[in-house]
Amino acid sequence: MTTVTIRTLRHEDASALLDFELQNRAWFARHITARPADVYSPEGIVRHIEECLNAYRQGTMHPSLLLDASGVVLGRANLKDIDRAKASSEIGYRVAEQSAGGGLATQAVRHMQQVAREEWQLKMLEAYVTAHNPASARVLLKCGFRQGEYVEQLALVNGEMRDGHRYQYDLNG
């Protein structure tokens, strides 16, 4: 497995993050909802990072990057829609096409489970996965998530509405 550092997103990550998003744009579009087109520019990625970091400061998001030893972005992992009252959050992750299948998504999910428990004192994580993304579902199951209810029209992927499932993980064990 590739040695990876997982850390919170920073302003100075703009160039490396834009490279990652551009290189993997078509790959992600086949599996998950596409990012808005304006993210794929130097100005757009700076705005995107600022939005993520504002949400982080407000306590509603924990944006993270997976970096190789030379600082190349291999993936992203986030806690989003953090609800302190309910002690819950949604987890999301994406791994570069070249790194898919190498255990990075599992490493990212496990790291974010630890962050959710230790830094945010959350009790529940949830994730949503379309039926057309079985690799992501396998990652969640491997990390202890349980498949929950079926969700119709979960996401627009590659121009098509796709159904899927909600997954849950109890951080209290």
Winning range, highest mean pLDDT, from 114-118, 146-150, 163-167: 114-118
**For residue range 11-31, what is the model confidence (pLDDT) as tens digits?**
999 999 999 999 987 777 666
Q: Are 168 and 143 in contact (CB under 8 A)?
A: no
Integer Cα distance of 173 and 34 in angstroms: 33
Instruction: Indicate the domain borders of the chain.
Output: 5-170
From residue 74, alpha-carbon distances to 13, 29, 58, 99, 108 in Å are 12, 17, 26, 7, 11
**For residue range 25-67, what is the model confidence (pLDDT) as tens digits?**
777 766 666 666 788 899 999 999 999 999 999 999 999 999 9
The answer, as to whether pTM is greater than 0.85, is yes
From residue 54, alpha-carbon distances to 35, 49, 65, 93 in Å are 18, 8, 16, 19
Integer Cα distance of 108 and 114 in angstroms: 10
**For residue range 115-145, what is the model confidence (pLDDT) as tens digits?**
999 999 999 999 999 888 888 899 999 999 9
CA 51 to centroid of chain Cα atoms: 15
CATH number of 5-170: 3.40.630.30
Any residues with CB less than 8 A from the CB of 38 and at least 6 apart, and which? Answer: 44, 47
